[in-house]
Amino acid sequence: MLILNRRRFLQAGSLASASLFIPKFLKALENPAHVMVPPGNKVLVIIQLSGGNDGLNTVIPYRNDIYYQLRPSLGIQREKALSLTDETGLHPALVGMKALYDDGGMGILQNVGYPNPDRSHFRSMDIWQSASDAADYWGNGWVGRYLDAQCKDCDKPVQALEIDDTLSLAMKGEFQKGLAFNDPARLSAGMNAGLYNDLMRQHHDEETNVDYLYKTLGATLSSANYIQKQFKTYDTKETYPSTQLGKSLRTISKLIMSDISTKVYYVSHGSFDTHVNQQAQQQNLFKQLDDAVTVFARDLKNNNRFQDVVVMTFSEFGRRVAQNASNGTDHGTANSMFLIGGGLKQQGLLNEGPDLTNLKDGDLQYKVDFKRVYATLLNKWLAADDKTILKQHYDYLSFI
């Protein structure tokens, strides 16, 4: 019976895997005495631009001759860029985000990176998601450690949800973890399928590890039902794009408007690994990003929640300054980040652009450690102990 149960558990697929990432405190949300957090609950939405987005063709230094010398065919001409200042423009696909910038709802932080950068996708992403130094290898992520810190003996639940099939390192703490799913309805329906209920009835008091898995599954069953119930409480009037990012931001919007009290949402978009024919690929991905973020921001504004949400974008690294022989760019270092929301204290270009006269081995040199961005958001937006979560002190930035 034990062997059969093991096999049936493994057959459950990705939803069973997701159940291992349910925070223990999530089940507490089902308590009828739980009071929903009112509007004003601060939320962070993280959009990961996977693959290493080219920051120089995102925020374009169109008055810099070096930019065009090193990118004779790849450089975006000034007349095509969306003008931000006399010196700088935005990628032409980001029309809606340019409108957010003009309205004071977006800040752009440039030259973001970390010391001793790694050009491996996997290693650099681990560094960004764990918030470690380049020489350190940590098995948990900065959002997961936020859950550890905030949800240990806390008096109200705090959540982190990732709209994906698998949970990122960023969302895994030592004691608490976020929950990964693509669709609340599918999560709830899948977790209530006969296979799961059969497993629950059959487990009895088997060996400790298997018993733990079944108990986790039981918590997931009830939590999935709760998330689905809250998901149904708000039906957006906006028409979101049918892209994966559009669907994900629609899900996030519906949950934010339900006051489910989730603090952090995480979603990925890409791949921006543009070694070949970069222009078309980046144009397409930016169009998807712009369409989805524009509708999301409008949805939040129309429901008086834009001031309660900060959207942060990041990518594991930028690209090299010079284009390659395939009309693309190779792995680089420092990059730009977008910060979007009605609660920003500073908007527009938040710092100086990259210095193309001072490259290191053909790469941009970072000026802002990304962990300062995390520290600022943790402390000033989420009211968390950033020093404990990031394991050291980082000076705060002033965008919030």
Tens of pLDDT along the chain (400 residues) come to: 444 444 444 444 444 444 444 444 444 444 433 334 445 689 999 999 999 999 999 999 999 999 999 999 999 999 999 999 999 999 999 999 999 999 999 999 999 999 999 999 999 999 999 999 999 999 999 999 999 998 765 444 447 899 999 999 999 999 888 888 887 666 545 444 454 555 555 554 554 454 544 444 544 555 555 555 656 567 789 999 999 999 999 999 998 988 677 899 999 999 999 999 999 999 999 999 999 999 999 999 999 999 999 999 999 999 999 999 999 999 999 999 999 999 999 999 999 999 999 999 999 999 999 999 999 999 999 999 999 999 999 999 999 9
Task: Locate 313 and state its tokens.
Answer: 């974008």
Write the CB contacts of 158 (distance below 8 Å, at least 6 apart in sequence): 25, 147, 150, 151, 261, 263
Q: Distance of CA 62 to CAs 80, 101, 267, 339, 356, Å?
A: 10, 18, 31, 22, 12
Q: Helical H runs in 75-193?
A: 95-102, 121-130, 142-150, 184-191
Please state, in angstroms and rounded to a whole number, the distance separating the CA atoms of residues 65 and 160: 44
Please state, in angstroms and rounded to a whole number, the distance separating the CA atoms of residues 102 and 343: 15
Instruction: State the DSSP string of 58-102.
Output: TEE-TT-HHHHHH-TTTSPPTTTSEESSSS-EE-TT-HHHHHHHH
The C-alpha angle 10, 13, 15, rounded to 5 degrees, equals 120
Please state, in angstroms and rounded to a whole number, the distance separating the CA atoms of residues 37 and 255: 12
Task: Locate 304 and state its tokens.
Answer: 């008086």
Report the SS3 class of residue 145.
Answer: helix
State residue 19's pLDDT score: 42
Which helix (DSSP H) or strand (DSSP E) does residue 323 occupy?
A: none
The dihedrals phi and psi of 362, each to the nearest 5 degrees, come to: 80, 10
State residue 198's pLDDT score: 58
